[in-house]
Amino acid sequence: MKRALIICFAVFLLMQFIRPQKVEYSEDETYEIVLPPDIKEIFVRACYDCHSNKINYPWYSNVAPFSWVVANHTNEGVNALNFSNWEKYTQAQKDEKLKAIYRTAHSSMPLPAYTWAHIEAELSKEDREKIRDWTGVRK
């Protein structure tokens, strides 16, 4: 039993040397999306940690294996939609992103794993309606 615990601890320590690549934090707002204040508040609270270059990594994002999951989610998030690079998108890309925001605001975002650790990111029905109205998308 003692040997198994030592091996598990050694593996855990070795895991810490496998560092995932994180999205680099940036205050640069050159290409940032321009939002009405009420929508910006919702997006910063519920979306920016995965969909911008202004990610506030929690403490556990430095501890493997959690760091791997966080890095994977944030990298996938900014690749799918990055509010910090909004003005780099073509109009067609922006239209597609708005449609995706419209769809996901109703159902799947933010991810349950994120809202479990960040209760403030939970979207109310009113938040979801505001986002959907803001997109300008109609079914």
Q: What is the pLDDT along the chain (139 residues), one digit of tens a residue?
A: 888 888 877 877 777 877 777 667 667 778 889 999 999 999 998 888 889 988 777 787 777 888 787 788 888 888 899 999 999 999 999 999 999 888 888 777 887 877 877 888 888 899 988 988 898 877 6
What is the residue extent of each domain of the chain? Answer: 2-135
The pLDDT value given to residue 23: 64
The pLDDT value given to residue 25: 64
The pLDDT value given to residue 71: 83
Distances (CA, A) of 129 to 35, 99, 137, 139: 16, 14, 12, 14
The pLDDT value given to residue 98: 92
Positive or negative, the CA dihedral 135, 52, 62, 70 is: positive
Distances (CA, A) of 116 to 55, 70, 111: 17, 13, 9
Does pTM surpass 0.85? no
Of 92, 109, 106, 93, the C-alpha closest to 139 is 106
The pLDDT value given to residue 90: 95
The pLDDT value given to residue 34: 92
